[in-house]
Structure formats: C-alpha cells, structure tokens
Structure 1
C-alpha cells in the first residue's frame, strides 16, 4: 500500500517498525487526534519480535528505497518520525532528519546504537564509563582481559537487545568460549556478530532510567531497580524490576543527574530513552541506552503505578510540545503505588503439553496482578531460562501497599511452574 497524503486534516505520526513496545504508539497518538502511519523497513516482518498490529495504523508503507521513502513521508507532513524498536533507531534518525521534523539527527546515531561507540562517546565527553575493547578475534579478547588484571569481565554483541548473548566470564577460558559463542551466532535481529564487546564488570545495583525529551528538556518517567539472579551457567538473569520511590530512594536523584549527562553526550534531544545504569562504589556508570521505549512497557500498568506511560508522554512531546514542557520538563515522576514486573525464570525443559488454565486463573486473580502474559502455548519448546527472552511468564504487579505486593509476588513464584505441563 502507499500512503495517502491528502486523506483528511488529522495530523500524522510515523512509526518505523512498530514491533513489541512500539505497539503502544498508535493508541498514544490517537489520544491526541493524530493518525499513525507504519513504515516497515524489511520486506518481511522480523520474526524474533512481537509483530506490529497493522490494523491500528492508518496505513503501512513497505519501501526499501530511502530517498523515495523520504519524499513519500514529506508528503504526509508528519509531526514526527520515530523508531518503534531498537534496530530501527538509525533509520528513524536519518528519516526524521531528512524529512525535517524534530530529530536527534544522524551524526551521533552510531553512538546511540553501537555499544562500543556509545561508551567511547561518553569517555570523550568526560562522562564516567566502563573500560572496554572490541574485536573479532577470541584470542585478542582473552589478551585484553588478562592485561586488565581482574575478572570477571563481560562479553556481549556490539548491538542487540534483551540481554541477548551477554556473558559474565571469570577467566580466560570463559572469555574464549563466550567470544566464540557470540561470534558464531546472529544477534536477535538476525544480523551476524562480526565483532564482540569486552568490558570490565560493573559491580553494583542495576537500574532502569526511562526518560522522554522534548527539544532538549527531559522528564524522568520511571526508575526501576533490577533484581537479578546469577545462574550456574554464568548468565545473570533478570528476575524483578522494582519501581523506585523518588521520595524514599536518594539514588534516583544521583541516577537522574548522571543520565542527564549521558543524554547530552549522545545528542538525545527528542523522544523516549531507556537507560540501564549500574551504581558502583564510584557512582553511576552506563551499561547501555536505547533511544526508544522501554521494552517492558505496559501502558495501562504504568498508568496505574506512575500516572502516565512513556508512549503517551512521547506522543505528547511531539504533538503538544508546549504542554509537555509546562507539565513535565526537568521533572521526575512520583510513585503512585508500589509495583513490580516479574519475569519468571524456569528450569522446565521440554515441550509444553498444555497450559494449566486453573493455575493461570489463580495467578491472574491475585489482587496485585494487573496482567500476566503466558509466553508459551501447547506444542511450544520450553527451555531453562538464560535471558529475558526465555523467561516463562511476564507478570505485572501493583498494589496500594508493599505487604500485599510482596505476598502476591511470593504466591506468583509458587504458581509459575504449575502453569505449564511439560513433557
């Protein structure tokens, strides 16, 4: 299909590859009387991610010729051209810049997508960051780790997402094996890993810091503490994301000041950003940042515990910038209710014979459980959890008080393995 530039007076927003979290954009823009047009950057949909709901868009454009795409989008006179997910950030940067709408520009796109460039850009700007190297050779990785004189070190792909291919290595053999594993496999977007990133291990508590920017002025819309469990395999898996209360958690102000430096160094003036930061004994250090929505966003859940959500705030920043600045610029969220996102780990290994609907109903009936996503169906292969993608359920919990939330989390823990009957 081609887009129709003259179909009605409603303003238009353009979303490039609205997978997974990007699915929250159409409703967010619709709330501001804005239609959304979808740009699909690949001939076929990318299989690794939750597909876009194309019915929610006014139109879909599948166009691989970039100059032609720019002309077509100019004809729509859009309010913005934004990335629906991580791998589309560079294309959305180029398109928004070429179309002449608010944009972070393409000059620093590599630093916002390639994790090596990201850290080196921070280093040049004097922002605290991790020690690192990149290489296509496992032995060079081992030499760098040995020269640093301390383990563990982290080995991961240069650009992926969802903790895909991240290894914590405690010695040279582990570094060599991890380097070979990453170089021998594609990343989650199906692209080959020709180089790996080797970084010093950051010891400390990890946090998510989510922001939305409007012409260089940002609002912090959520800070979540990552609770992780280190598996025997060396995989450090996410367990719970716990919503921090800025009034009771002094580290939120420290994280905010640090992320402000990161946003400035990376040229982020517009739209959402999702940062992961470890607070070390020397202070906050960036793990990585994506200039797109938090992949764990659930808009109705965030509306309950935060009073807003990142997709809606992004739509506001682009459609009504004056209102966004008046209400949100330079500020930080208030926590309305305690909240947790629980990505359930599993040791189950086999084929899902059936889903126990009684267990699912019991889980969903808990007072704190707003949503619970059952990730596998009958006939699916379930394997022991090694990363975010292989967790067995995603449960969104929020309650008026910590005691209720905590009790329901423990109940969810006890129910998680009853959901799947595995053979």
Structure 2
C-alpha cells in the first residue's frame, strides 16, 4: 500500500507501533523531534531504523518537516513517546490529517495547563499552582492548602522530579533542586507545579480514540511503597484489572470526560487517575501509548493491546467505532512486579535470576541494568533495576509468586560491589 504513517520519536515502547503498522501492510516514516534527543529516548530502546522507509530529524522548522512528509501519502501522525506528543500534534494539523484539538495542544503536554483545562471543563481536579518562587508556593500553601504537597516539573516524564514535601524545608529543597535545572527530557524547569498531596489508590486507564469515540483498552491498579529509600514513594507493582466493576465504571466515565476536556479526539492516551474519597481525580495524561512495553503484556493477557486498537482506529475506523464500547475480557490475570534495589554500586551478578524464570507464572523480564553495569537505589520510576511480568489463570498464584520475588530480592538477588561511604 502507498499510504504512510508518520511516527514521531518511535523509540522505547514506541518501536512497537511501526512494527504493527508494517504487519498491517502500511509503511512508516520516522520523525525525530530533536537533533539532540534525551538519552532516555535513545538508549537501548532507540528507534529501529529498519522499520521505516525514511527518517527526518526535525530542526525546529515545522514547514521544512511538513515539506518532507508531503512527499509521502501520510494518513496519520502518531507520537511514539512523550517527547513526540507536541510535534505530532503540530504536524498532523499542518498536513491536514486527523488531529487533536489544536487550541488545547499545550494542555496535553503541560501539567499545569492540563489541570486548568480539566477544571475548566467542570471535572473534579486537584488544586494546582505554577510558580518558580518558593515564597509564592508557601503563601499559597499556608493560605488553605496545607502540607503535604507534591512538587513536579510541568513538562517532564515518568516520576522525574516528583517530590512529596511535608514541610517548608522540604519545599525549599525541592525548588532548589529543580527550578532552572534540566529534566530527563532535557527541558529546563522554568517553574514547578505544586499540588496538595492526594491520598488514594492510583490507577492507569489506557485509551484509543477516533473522531472523539473513545475505547478503553486496559486498566491497571498500582501498588506503591511510601517514604522508601529516601524517596517520597516508589512504585512496587501493577495489576491488570477486568474492564468491568464499580471502580472501573467510575474510572472509565471520568477518563473519557478528561479526554474530551483535553481535546483528545484521535490516537492513544495514558491516563493516571487517583480514586480519592470514592471518586476519581486526575494526576495527568500522556497523549500517547502506555510505556514500559505494557502493550506486550496486555496482548498476552487480553489478546489485544492498545497498539492493536491504535492501528485499527487509523486503518479501519468504522470497525474501531463499532466495537469501541465493548469491554475487553481477561484471558488471564497479569501482574507487573517492579524490581527494587536498596543499594547503589556496580552490579556483579544476579545469582538468583534462574529462580525467577522457574516461577509458574513467569512471562518475561525487562532488566534495566546488567552485570557489570551500575545499579542505583530505587528512588523513582527510572531507577528500578527491572520489571518482571507474570501471567496466570489463578490470581492467587500471582500474589504468591510476587512474594517469592520479594524474598529473592531480600536474600541475595543482587550482588553489588558497594560504594565507599
């Protein structure tokens, strides 16, 4: 077929997008959003050149990149990861292919503007301040918000810079560490988002949309460890939930309203939502597929992934819309166990790794560090040593085998050459 899909920053989990489009008979071109992309986007998960018929590096001139894409019959522009969201929006609008609401483009990327758009739509939202002045933040907090608060960069990724502050000293420390500094996406934090800490269970709702018709592709419930390793929190595990249930119904309805509020009419979205006092409230949305190769795990547990739905929404929109309201069905239970390290240094061996592979529910493992490399104490999403994915028909088997993994971690899973004090 002559029709082409343009993928912006198709790296990390985004490599799967081109693969699926190619399998469906479509060709892809790659757009790199910057001449100097952050390492988090170009390391081991860098884009696969052989999946594309051509590649262009965007140098900041939108018209030049549009001119390059105009030599192909581009029918869709898709972001692969967070760094490609804004450029994908701009290119789609300029080329004239289906795109999200242009006026809300910044609200799909900037966490302060996102919160304002959600509040402006009349949806439940967390009170939010954007400032680079810690005195301003303190005045706002003492004016009725109160501690604890969460501080984070408005345009970073993962849990980069996300800090829980219990008092003024911690707030000063966070502002000193973050304001004016580059984040993991190599953007300078000109100001910080400040929000009251909202307690509750965190969920992920992944979606795909076509012409404003939204489909829920998977829902996850997170488990966290609070005040761990000196960090405010670290993620511990995530459960894939059935599509139907009282909580899922609330999450689904709220997520769809959020998508509308942010002008997300086409493509994938990754919604992070907290159930607080019995009702959902938004943490943030990524207007792209879920990361961490979660679609692979969903494919194994459900038989269909967010990427499958994304491809269908573009190549067969009528088919997509006809089945968008049908809830997905679990073939098996799925659990992602996030590995956690309590120490830093050179990783010498993983002597108990063989025991993980012997688990009845073992599906796959993604190691973020290998023997000979450096392992860090786990303090954020990017310092987990790896992820272990488990799948089984019996949920109790997954619970037991997660506890086995934690026992292994506590009893020699990592052999680390400890650093000198």
TM over 0.5, shorter chain? yes
Which residue among 164, 168, 187 is the counterpart of 2:160? 164
TM-score, normalised relative to structure 2: 0.94
1:241 paired residue number: 238
Asked if the contact 2:231–2:379 (Cα under 8 Å) also holds between the matched residues in 1, the reply is no
After superposition, the CA RMSD in angstroms is 1.6
Q: Does 1:361 align with 2:354?
A: yes
Deviations 1:215-262 (A, max 9, x none): 111110111011010125242111111111234x31000001111110
1:4 paired residue number: none
- What are the ranges of 5 or more consecutive residues in structure 2 without an aligned counterpart? none
Deviation (angstroms), 1:74: 2.1
Q: How does 1:315-354 map to 2 (within 5 A)?
A: 315-327=311-323, 329-352=324-347, 354=348
Asked if the contact 2:156–2:183 (Cα under 8 Å) also holds between the matched residues in 1, the reply is yes
2:85 paired residue number: 89
Q: Does 1:26 align with 2:18?
A: yes
Q: How does 1:16-415 map to 2 (within 5 A)?
A: 16-49=8-41, 50-64=45-59, 65-232=61-228, 233-247=230-244, 249-281=245-277, 283-327=279-323, 329-352=324-347, 354-356=348-350, 358-415=351-408
Deviation (angstroms), 1:359: 2.1
- In 1: Cα distance, 2:173 partner to 2:166 partner: 11
Deviations 1:240-286 (A, max 9, x none): 11111234x31000001111110111111101000000111151100
- In 2: Cα distance, 1:153 partner to 1:227 partner: 20
- In 2: Cα distance, 1:132 partner to 1:393 partner: 33
Deviation (angstroms), 1:149: 4.5
- In 1: Cα distance, 2:376 partner to 2:296 partner: 30
Deviation (angstroms), 1:296: 2.5
Deviations 1:36-80 (A, max 9, x none): 111112224431233112222222112423202112212211121
- In 2: Cα distance, 1:288 partner to 1:27 partner: 28
Runs of 4 or more, structure 1, over 4 Å off, are: none
Asked if the contact 1:317–1:324 (Cα under 8 Å) also holds between the matched residues in 2, the reply is yes
2:414 paired residue number: 420
Deviation (angstroms), 1:109: 0.8
Asked if the contact 1:141–1:176 (Cα under 8 Å) also holds between the matched residues in 2, the reply is no
- In 1: Cα distance, 2:344 partner to 2:336 partner: 23
Deviations 1:150-203 (A, max 9, x none): 221111111111111111111111111112212153111111111001001111
Asked if the contact 1:141–1:179 (Cα under 8 Å) also holds between the matched residues in 2, the reply is no
Q: SS of the counterpart of 2:330?
A: coil
Q: SS of the counterpart of 2:74?
A: coil
Deviations 1:347-369 (A, max 9, x none): 022112x233x522321232212
Asked if the contact 1:146–1:172 (Cα under 8 Å) also holds between the matched residues in 2, the reply is no
Residues paired across the two proteins, number: 411
Asked if the contact 1:343–1:388 (Cα under 8 Å) also holds between the matched residues in 2, the reply is no
Deviation (angstroms), 1:378: 3.2
Q: Does 1:13 align with 2:8?
A: no
Q: SS of the counterpart of 1:370?
A: strand
Deviation (angstroms), 1:106: 2.5
